[in-house]
Structure 1
């Protein structure tokens, strides 16, 4: 009597086992991934981080046009954009006024850092120290003037009637600060012969960005003046055309009505 038992091919059996193992591994991987993703979604700290990131993006996106407009007419737009885009974003940072204040603050930090570098530079002899010592005094004056500019921005009146006077004071303070930096740089012209260590180039590279940052702040003030002038004209037109319930324009005197 003949046997009907079929002998399986060893090669085919090995292939089947390999396929089964692959399916099992893929199934386990998908299960673990699903569980991990679910735990992340349910983690309060992760939710807070995700919400914070979304909030930051939603705040930062509308601010890009302000930064571009603020930097468009500066002499150093690349430096301006780098300075403003690197600043932390807050809900109050929604106008050119706030970015101007932040730009001046960043400039003050740059001045303080440069002053520390010059004051602690140990590779100068007595002759070489004359110009840097004079420059340190000017940097102190620059810090004072930039600080006054920040104070002026803090007490910036909300009423548009005083804005032009405040802008004029800001321009005076920043112009004086930039003059200090240029004078510092010019003071190193006498170091040509004695400068064997690249001191002049080092100090100029340290101070030049400060002058550029102040120049950008002055350009931002000019832009702010233009924006303010347009807003003032628009407000006046609205006031001139606004009619109360009695049908007379608000600017008309009672007798004329």
Structure 2
């Protein structure tokens, strides 16, 4: 019996280098058997060396893209990424209220090269409007610190911040551990029913651009296919871990993952 297709509406920014953002999201959802549709929030000028420009799209255009998808194709999950401003956060929160599908919220704040992708004043909007609407929230350590005010420097910090984010309304939180020091990377999934540890050796590579976008979209693909959040996260985590290991080493900076590794392996 084949798995359901799983429709995912991706609301995020475009990455001209193809390693992160909507481009990474579409690749991940497709490789995991889903159908990816998009509502682009911003056009970025970037490559592996960094973000060289950000051009937000008008709010009515973002909403119109989402409505065009929802009114015709529909969706089984929504994945949000780069939002940028308070106004965009508010518009996307309104979209989520009409999508009638679980939302995977990746609270994107800073690009891999250090360029800010979320206004400082928009952090509170993400906390107040996006977290309560999240079926799954996927912050890294700096993002969790910004959202909770708690230090995240070890597993205990990941756990405390994750529990705080659950109290803010997220139904599940995947606390990513890539920024936490150590030879082993530990991601911690917290839900109302308990926690799951996902851990593996740290891969020494500069090809980690788009890791967060890819993981959130991989999880959204599984959720869209009706899988329990624990299964969707575990499968998405394994997909990303292998994509990092197989990264092709493109560019002179933080390179992309190998999103298409399942095809090459087969």
- Given the two structures, how large is their TM-score scaled by the length of structure 1? 0.23
- Write 1 or 2 for the structure with the bigger share of strand: 2
- Write 1 or 2 for the structure with the bigger share of helix: 1
Q: Larger Rg: 1 or 2?
A: 1
